Amino acid sequence: MTMHRQKADSMETMEIKRPDQLLSYFRRELVPLFIVFLTGMIYNIGLTATPFFEGQLVQRLYDIIKGEKTIGTMFFLATLYIVIILFVQGARALKRYYVRKFANNTSRNMRHMLYNQLVHSSKKELNEDTVGTLMTKAVADVDACVEGMRKFTTEVFDTGVALVSYLVMLFLYDWRLALLSSMFTLVAYVIAEKMKTVVYRYHTAYKKSAENLEDATMDRVENAITYRVFGQENARDLEYEKSLTDYEKKAVMANIWENTLRPIYYILSMTGVVSIIYFGAGNVMGTGWTTWDIAAFTTFLSCFTKMAQKSSRAAKLFNAVQKAQVSWKRIKPLMKAYVKVDEQTEKVFGQRITLTMDHITFSYEPGKTIIRDLSFHAEPGEVIGITGEVACGKSTLGKLFLGEEAYQGNILIGDRELRTFSDYERNQYISYMGHQPELMSDTLQENIAMGGKESVTSYLQAVCLEQEVDEMPEGSLTHMGSSGTRFSGGQQARVALARTLYHKRRVLVLDDPFSAVDQKTEQRIMAHLRQMNQDSILLLISHRVTLFPTFEQIIWMEKGRCYVGTHQDLIRDHENYAKIFHAQQAGGDLDEA
């Protein structure tokens, strides 16, 4: 783990210039690519060594049987053959490794860049532009793209160079026979080229059907309960059966066109073998175009067979490139310059500071004002309760501190307007905790500290979670499950609160932190909050007001108007506030919502 961490740290300086150009990624990997080039050339030219030496070995056997050569020469030849193959295959092993290393590096770099973009996207971008889904898909695309890049690099050598070497070899032995026999290979290749569009069409139809089926499956499973409670299960099953039938048809067709044709192409390109055997034998008999020995005959034949096999796979090169292009097209717009949090600031954080709201007015769309003309001032150590009727905009008020929306009026932290802060500065002054606990699938400890070194124990105490955690076998190292779902809603909310306190700033904005805890716990947590925040300002948004009498100031929101005062003031002046307060006091512990 620590080793990985160190290595990961070494990646942090990694920035890719022009990440939106595919060439940048090739350029980064020049060393492995150079090795691939060198070994790829050696291997593919060396490929001809196998048929050549095997021909020579057979010839030597013939010569020895005829008594023209000694046994020792066979030993020498066989050893040479093995050594050459060792060299060629060694080059091949290196080529294979470096091609894969290149792909692996590139995949890591692309993912690294993508995640950097994601983590610096704003909530709004992620919500609205479906950047979220795009990002999720992009990660799958990285795999496809890199796989395509790898195959392209591989096939350039394994198909391109290999085909050329085989052809050169054939032409050296007998150019007329080479021409005659490889004509059929050419024909097969041309037909394969022509058929490619058909194959591609069936393949696309198949992929589309597979996608549909996956969507249908997801829909059927994810919404199973919905379909069940609305009595639609049987109808859905029939629909699903339709997708299945379609998928079966398309899959069979695509596979038949793709796999069944390959043996046919092979047969076609092997047609040349008739001429090789017939005229080649003539060459050996001395009645053909040139004079051959047995070695030449077998080498020529096996070279030709290998070439036919290769060329029936030549279409792969094209496919790999095309697939990579499609994936890259989707990733490209997401690949932007590496982003770093701008931490430059002249401000000194951590000092006691005041908060002033001066004539704040806010609306999402013109004409529908949600917050109208709110003004108040708070000193360090104060707790300000914010409440109102359902849908009054109290959460919106909290969100203004996130800098996500534009407001009228001024929010002053000390004497500086919040708008003028950089994201980094704002986040150094303000802690915000929303409705959602926003937990990670990690241990309890990591969820609170998020990389911090300080112990979490005192924060667990503060949110009254210590006892429950102690009872867990693994204590604060208990894994919280994906998005924290192994914990109950109340526990999740308290972990989130502990996390906020752990990273506490001078202004804390807590939106409904107690909605899932009972009143006694609420009281105890509140007492801890008071104790811990003597130097900070605490804005507490809540629909539960039983603790409000103990707060320094209350903001009561009603029909777009905001009223600021002490609890007594509001009880006296605002009938609805008083009504809610009394109703909740009477409701006692059981009242929850």
How would you list the strands of the sheet with 430-433, edge to edge?
416-417, 408-413, 355-363, 369-378, 561-565, 553-558, 383-388, 537-541, 507-511, 430-433
Report the 3 state secondary structure along 518-545: CHHHHHHHHHHHHHHCCCCEEEEECCCC
Does the footprint of another protein cover residue 79 (CB under 8 A)?
Answer: yes
Residues 485-524 that bind another protein (CB under 8 A): 488-490, 496, 499, 503, 516, 518
* Piece of the chain touching another protein by CB under 8 A; list 168-176, 232-240, 325-333, 463-471: 232-240
- CB nearer to another protein: give 186 or 285: 285
Residues 529-568 that bind another protein (CB under 8 A): none
| Least distance from another protein to the Cβ atom of residue 76, Å | 10
- CB nearer to another protein: give 23 or 590: 590
> What are the φ/ψ torsions at residue 292 (nearest 5 degrees)?
-120, 155
Query: In this chain, which of 41, 144, 167, 370 binds another protein, going by CB under 8 A?
Result: 370
Does the footprint of another protein cover residue 122 (CB under 8 A)?
Answer: yes
Query: In this chain, which of 164, 290, 424, 477 binds another protein, going by CB under 8 A?
Result: 424
Is the Cα dihedral 281, 286, 289, 295 positive or negative?
A: positive
Residue 80's alpha-carbon distances to 75, 379, 419, in angstroms, are 9, 90, 78
Owner of token pair 């392209």: 152
Residues 180-199 that bind another protein (CB under 8 A): none
Residue 444's alpha-carbon distances to 432, 502, 581, in angstroms, are 20, 13, 35
Query: In this chain, which of 67, 366, 451, 588 binds another protein, going by CB under 8 A?
Result: 451
Query: In this chain, which of 159, 165, 428, 542 binds another protein, going by CB under 8 A?
Result: 428
| Least distance from another protein to the Cβ atom of residue 535, Å | 19
Does the footprint of another protein cover residue 349 (CB under 8 A)?
Answer: no
Q: Distance (Å, rounded) from C-alpha 144 to C-alpha 136?
A: 14
| Least distance from another protein to the Cβ atom of residue 566, Å | 25
Owner of token pair 């290149």: 102
Query: In this chain, which of 44, 48, 116, 546 binds another protein, going by CB under 8 A?
Result: 116
Query: In this chain, which of 26, 227, 289, 318 binds another protein, going by CB under 8 A?
Result: 227
Amino acid at 258: E
Q: Distance (Å, rounded) from C-alpha 308 to C-alpha 46?
A: 18
Is the Cα dihedral 413, 414, 417, 422 positive or negative?
A: negative
Q: Name the region of 436 (left: φ>0; alpha: ψ -120 to 50; beta: rest).
A: beta
* Piece of the chain touching another protein by CB under 8 A; list 58-66, 174-182, 314-322, 377-385: 58-66
Owner of token pair 């085989």: 166
Does the footprint of another protein cover residue 443 (CB under 8 A)?
Answer: no
Does the footprint of another protein cover residue 578 (CB under 8 A)?
Answer: no
Residues 29-48 that bind another protein (CB under 8 A): none
Residues 258-297 that bind another protein (CB under 8 A): 259-264, 266-267, 270-271, 273-275, 277-278, 281-282, 284-285, 287, 294, 297
Does the footprint of another protein cover residue 100 (CB under 8 A)?
Answer: yes
Residue 573's alpha-carbon distances to 304, 343, 543, 565, 568, in angstroms, are 99, 46, 19, 10, 9
Per-residue interface string for the shown chain with another protein, residues 142-181, x marking contact by CB under 8 A: ----------------------------------------
Does the footprint of another protein cover residue 126 (CB under 8 A)?
Answer: yes
Angle at 486 between CA 466 and CA 233, to 5 degrees: 155
